[in-house]
Amino acid sequence: MKKILFYSLLIFAVSIGSAHAQQKLDRFENTIKEFEQEDRQNGHDPEAILFSGSSSIRKWNTLTVDMSPIPVINRGFGGSTIPEVLHYADRIILPHHPKIIVFYCGENDLSNDETKSAQALKSFKLFDEYMKQNLPDTKVFFLAIKPSVSRWKYWDKFSDANKKLAKFMEKKDNYYYVDTATPMLDDNGVVLQDIFVADNLHMNPKGYAIWTEVLKPILEEHYK
């Protein structure tokens, strides 16, 4: 009954105020099958920190080196939204029973003119429900929704969503809001220009170096 209720709420979350509402939740099925094949071949390492979320995680090609010697597994996919990560959580998160999850998602949920900043929090609360039901002792480190050149017009909305998410996580014992966004801004509060690849959306090595500098010391402290 709890499972049915959860997925009913998940479908409802996708159906309200989202540019992705008309897209099927299973549009990344082929990628998820590839993850499952990797798991069959490599098994599961419960000591590894699991990174999940959208393309900013997927494209973190230096993740293993950047987080070394901490073992990591990358389960970022496509331009996913929080409801889409939840849709696949039973297949890409739960089997690993991770003690720590690093989560980056919400940017694609808000990158349109229809959604409000509160939508990211509404969707993340569903993620919270999933974690309470399935992985109640797992620590979750949420990376702030990032600014970018190509989506700069949405930065005020992203920033407001970050504030809402941070406030929500303050009340949670095992949730941690990680501000990887502020270091991506210059002294005038404008996004840095030289930390992105040609699409001005996804980060280049300089961008990921910023994330690593902020995130790794935090993970090292908790991983011990």
Q: Give pLDDT tens digits for 167-193.
A: 999 999 999 999 999 999 999 999 999
Residue 35 lies in a domain: no
Provide the residue count of the chain: 224
Task: Tally the domains of the chain.
Answer: 1
Residue 66 lies in a domain: yes
Please report, for the domain that includes residue 106, its CATH number. 3.40.50.1110
Residue with tokens 């941690």: 176
Residue 91 lies in a domain: yes
Q: Is the pLDDT of residue 158 over 80?
A: yes
Average pLDDT of the residues of the chain: 92
Residue 198 lies in a domain: yes
Condensed to tens digits (0 to 9), the pLDDT of residues 93-131 reads 999 999 999 999 999 999 999 999 999 999 999 999 999
Residue 63 lies in a domain: yes
Residue 24 pLDDT class (50, 70, 90 cuts) = confident
Supply the range of the domain harboring residue 82. 2-18+43-223
Residue 88 lies in a domain: yes
Q: Going by C-beta distance under 8 Å and a sequence separation of 6 or more, which residues neighbour residue 141? A: 100, 101, 102, 103, 176, 178, 215, 218, 219
Using N-to-C axis directions, what is the helix angle for 82-92 and 118-134, rounded to 10°?
20
Residue 23 lies in a domain: no
- Is residue 72 within 8 A of residue 64, CB to CB? The reply is yes
pTM metric for this prediction: 0.91
Condensed to tens digits (0 to 9), the pLDDT of residues 129-139 reads 999 999 999 99
The pLDDT value recorded for residue 25 is: 87
Cis peptide before 95 (omega within 30 of 0): no
